[in-house]
Structure 1
């Protein structure tokens, strides 16, 4: 098991959230972004238990249903299972629209258009309870406490810089090195 999967597997809160998301039966799904990044960085900073992320990003890919209402129905189902959590369910088959990009091919393809290298990483709980890590841009930056803009993020550098500052990552995780 990869180190990321091991960190997540040892977190009973994360596993409970992954089990809830798995019940939706979504195609090509994972929980990504802060769900993974924050837990890994908290682990390396000795923060136990890990801090709760601001939201729980459940992403999936279904080109046959691009409706916002379906995403909302999935969020409502998750809220019934684990109430009062900040669930955000997003179909990556429609995320290209507001970014003015070509349609993504799958969930992993959509993640290369996120701003930071350490955010485009997700985990999926498989039917056999194993964890699959989805990391189209790799995991080296996350595991080595580095953060940099993705190639797409370099084209949106102002947004990248604003995001890092507004989320206070430098303060929350002082061991992380921010690269250009």
Structure 2
């Protein structure tokens, strides 16, 4: 089992599996060309590609969108973020998937209104990834100069390869976790979804 391999070999396996998703690798390559500060391709497109490999589905089955995060605290206006979003529409125009791009330096400005709980201002993109509702989601990948992959995986890869969805009660409310987990379970019924802690 991949989850029993040494961590460096798990990382190699993770990269190999992601490389099977041609849409994902194309989005990675084009994202790198945008030169965004602190960017990562993150969340569902990564762990769901792994789930598809483990469950013998096609590489991009059930992937709703490709989340591209970046971090630019020099201008927190919506206009600045929207300029990047509009630019990205051109970059990804012929990619057969939706690429959703967000400046994570701005999350604290709208998070409470959307989710009902305040969000401290993030200091980097990694902060945002750390706050996902499930630890399984806490993944980020980007291409660095020379084609090197930078992988951020604060909770490792074992749960991802073992199809385990584990709550991460640091920011997102329980309802967000349960809604996401329910949606994933409908698409990948092989998952084991762990309950939100009650204590």
TM-score relative to the length of structure 2? 0.80
CA contact (8 A) 1:5 1:132 kept: no
Deviation at 1:52, TM superposition (A): 5.7
Higher helix share: 2
- 1:82 pairs, out of 92, 108, 114, with 92
Q: Are the structure 2 counterparts of residues 80 and 52 from structure 1 closer, same or farther at C-alpha, using a change threshold of 3 Å?
A: farther
> Take 1:95 and 1:53, find their aligned partners in 2: how far apart are those partners?
23
Structure 1 portions without partners, runs of 5+: none
Ranges of 4+ aligned residues in structure 1 off by more than 6 Å: none
- For 1:174 and 1:60, the matched residues in 2 are separated by 32
Question: 1:57 & 1:71 partners in 2: Cα distance?
Answer: 15
1:121 and 2:139 are equivalent in the alignment:
yes
Aligned-residue CA RMSD in angstroms?
1.9
Rg comparison, structure with higher value = 2
In the alignment, the residues of structure 2 paired with residue 49 and residue 88 of structure 1 have an alpha-carbon distance, to the nearest angstrom, of 19
Q: In 2 relative to 1, CA 67–137 (structure 1 residues): closer, same or farther, beyond 3 Å?
A: farther
Instruction: Find 1:92's aligned residue among 104, 113, 120.
Output: 104
Gaps of 5+ in 2: 1-10, 112-117
Total equivalences in the alignment = 177
The correspondence for 2:121, drawn from 88, 91, 103, is 103
Normalization by structure 1: what TM-score? Answer: 0.87
Q: Which of the numbers 151, 162, 165 marks the counterpart of 2:179?
A: 162
